[in-house]
Amino acid sequence: MDLPEEFLSAARKARSCVVLTGAGISAESGLATFRGRDGLWRDRDPRDLATPEAFSRDPKLVWEWYQWRRQQLARSGPNPGHLAIAAMEGMFDSFLLATQNVDGLHQRAGSRRMVELHGNITRDRCTRCGKVVPEKADGGDELPKCGCGGLMRPDVVWFGEAVPAEALETAWEESGRAGIFLAVGTSGLVQPAASLPVIAKRGGAYLVEVNPEPTPLSEAADLAVRAAAGAAMPELLERIGLARGMQARAREINTKSRRCENGT
């Protein structure tokens, strides 16, 4: 992959790095994106289902959709794109991954320095007392209930609901200070997440977009890598590592993530 000198110099000099990911980074793990061709669930638009109104109107339908997504997730796992981002943490003094994804694949890939902007599908939350528990097995026709009698819901942020304040604060602060910002696998349509690259750019970050398609972020990007994240991220990781004089570490990480790719 040809990379401009400005990218390599930004990668060399940056003291802090922020990565924003969206559904596209989990596409190569076999999970449907929100807005791609495969993004629709049966004949419904996810955006009509991921709302508190849909849940109060028909909790059974919304639960069916989440159980279907949990089944997809159970058969899935992190791909080399997730692994490369987890490895990137150790290359910068300050690093933050802000994910819009709710699939938990970044944590399974080893990411630790991260915030979940939209919650996590592997947890349930009580609509009455707010208690959060690990997801319960599919109870068939019975809707999951809390010990307090309240109806459980997936612990995710729906459209029209506030993103967890602490996660957002951290993401805003780190983005404003980032020397390099990577927007990976996101259509850049959902707010307030889509404001992060804009804040980073305003703070002087070098902005990289990794996405096979152009998005509303493309115009502001200093570098658009028109490729799938599973292929591009290990390559970017190695080049960033080389630029930062971490040859051995970059190569070792890459072999590991390539091994993951061939499932060895």
Q: Which sequence positions are flagged as catalytic?
A: 118
Q: Which two tokens stand for residue 103?
A: 């699939």
1 or 132: CB nearest Zn ion: 132
- Residue 143 binds Zn ion (CB under 5 A): no
- Residue 29 binds ligand BV8 (CB under 6 A): no
169 or 252: CB nearest ligand BV8: 169
With contacts defined by CB under 6 A, name the span among 10-18, 84-92, 98-106, 237-245 that binds ligand BV8. 98-106
Q: Per DSSP, which regions of 112-255 are E strands?
A: 114-116, 119-126, 132-134, 152-156, 180-184, 206-210, 223-225
Where in 41-70 is the site for ligand BV8 (CB under 6 A)? 50
Give the count of beta carbons closer than 10 Å to the beta carbon of residue 121: 18
**Cα 120-125-131 angle, rounded to 5 deg:** 125
Select the binding partner of residue 23 from ligand BV8, Zn ion, none (C-beta < 5 to 8 A, by kind). ligand BV8
Q: What's the CA gap between 208 and 1, in Å, rounded?
A: 14
What is the total count of residues that contact ligand BV8 (CB under 6 A)?
39
Q: What is the nearest approach in angstroms of ligand BV8 to the Cβ of residue 15?
A: 26
Q: What's the CA gap between 91 and 96, in Å, rounded?
A: 12
Q: What's the CA gap between 212 and 229, in Å, rounded?
A: 8
Question: Which one among 76, 159, 242, 244 touches ligand BV8, defined by CB under 6 A?
Answer: 159
**Among the listed residues 95, 89, 115, 99, the one whose alpha carbon sits nearest the alpha carbon of residue 16:** 95
Give the count of beta carbons closer than 10 Å to the beta carbon of residue 32: 18
- Residue 146 binds Zn ion (CB under 5 A): yes
| Binding-site string for ligand BV8 from residue 195 to residue 214, where x marks contact by CB under 6 A and - marks none | ---------------xxxx-
Binding site for ligand BV8 (CB under 6 A): 22-25, 27-28, 33-36, 39, 50, 100-102, 118, 156-163, 185-187, 189-192, 210-213, 215, 228-230
